[in-house]
Each structure stands twice: as structure tokens, then as C-alpha cells.
Amino acid sequence: MSMAMMWQVMGVAVGLWWNEPRAEPAIPWDEMTALQKHVSFFDYDGDGYITVAEDYRGLRALDLAPGPAFAFAFAINGALGTPTMGYPSLTISIYDIDDGIHGSDTGIYDSQGRFVPEQFERLFADWDRNGSGGLDPVELAARTIDDADLFDLFGVTASAAEVSLLFVVAAEDGELSRDRMRAFYDGTLFFELEAEGG
Ligand SMILES: [Ca+2]
Ligand SMILES: [Ca+2]
């Protein structure tokens, strides 16, 4: 059995819902913050919590290969589970996702998880150095390093992981376009990518 098949079998084993359609979100769409909309992509059964298996399923739906999807699912849930649940956990709570906002973030979400358009504009004004209307890996890396809070190693690592993941699933022609970045931050990008077939 190949590694890919093994991850797939594990994915099925941990949830019989693997092929179940997505349930209605636990919090009505219009009442969610941008950050909650973004993470609700992964809450397939609509209970307001994201398990590692749900995270894995969502990443696979975004066309990530099984190995990286498994690694990212553990890394993301490992980083956000405990702060959002309030006790050691690998499951993420959507209700308290704003507690998962770490240092070294872009400020594009406020402390409640709401989208801040001015900060988004600033991101492009500051970092689209070649004026291409998109951010390439060099521009993204420069931004991540410059934005780093001093001594906030966890925050930098988490930001770099998020940017890498975003780039893998959403880059076009070697960069992340303004439209895709905007959709990422307002919480609709992953739904759009899934609808497009990854
Ligand atoms: Ca769930
Ligand atoms: Ca650029």
C-alpha cells in the first residue's frame, strides 16, 4: 500500500462522514466574523469545532497531497486547538477562534477576528514591491520577516506556515493575486477554490 493510500484509508477510518456533504455552519454565515468564515470551511459536520480529520479533509479538498495535508492538519490543530479550547486539545473551536490570533500577525484581522480593509490596503502598498498586483514568495517572505515581533518565534513560525500553505493552495503564475488574498482574508477563498475543484 502506498503512503498516499494509507493516509486516505486513515482519513476514512477516522470519519465515516468523509463523503458526506458539508453541513450548515454552527454559526449563521452573516453572524460570523471573517476569521470564523475562513475556518468554518473545515467544519464539515457543522458542530462549531474542527477536528484534525476535518482539517485533513478540507486540505485534501484544496488539492493538497495526502502527506502535506496530514502534516499541516496536525500543525494547525496543534497550534490553534489549545488556545481556542482553553485546555490542551487538538480540536479547534470556531467560537473562540479569535483567541488563536497570535503575535506577528498582519493586523488584517482585529482582535475580534473582523476584517480590517485599511490594513489589507497597507499590505499591498508596502509589500507589492514590483507593482504586479500580487505577492510573490520573495515579497511574502520579506513581509513575514519584517512583521515579526521580536522574540516571538512561535508567531513567526505560525505565520510562515500559514503563508506557505496559502501559497501552495492558491498561487497563480507564481504569486498570490490581490483578489485571492482579499478572498482569503474575508473568509471566502477556500470555498471558492473547492468549488473550482481545488
Ligand atoms: Ca466539526
Ligand atoms: Ca508583486
- pLDDT tens string 81-136: 998 999 999 999 999 988 876 544 667 888 888 888 998 898 889 999 999 999 99
Phi, psi dihedrals of residue 175, rounded to the nearest 5°: -150, 165
User: So what's the pLDDT on residue 104?
Assistant: 47
Nearest partner of 27 among 87, 103, 113, judged by Cα: 113
pLDDT bracket for residue 196 (50, 70, 90): confident
Q: Tell me: the pLDDT tens digits for 131-153? A: 999 999 889 888 777 766 655 55
CATH number of 105-198: 1.10.238
- Cα(121) to ligand 2 centroid in Å equals 14
- Cα(102) to ligand 2 centroid in Å equals 26
User: So what's the pLDDT on residue 141?
Assistant: 83
Q: 83 burial class (0-12, 13-18, 19+ CB within 10 angstroms)?
A: middle
Ligand positioned closest to the Cα atom of 140 = 2
**Could you give the residue range(s) of every CATH 1.10.238 domain in the chain?**
1-100, 105-198
- Cα(103) to ligand 1 centroid in Å equals 26
> For helices 153-170 and 137-146, what crossing angle results, to 10°?
160
- Cα(28) to ligand 2 centroid in Å equals 36
CB 80 within 8 A of CB 101: no
Q: Tell me: the pLDDT tens digits for 151-180? A: 555 566 666 777 888 898 999 999 999 999
- Cα(192) to ligand 1 centroid in Å equals 20
- Cα(94) to ligand 1 centroid in Å equals 9
CATH number of 1-100: 1.10.238
Cβ < 5 A residues, ion ligand 1: 43, 45, 47, 49
pTM here? 0.79
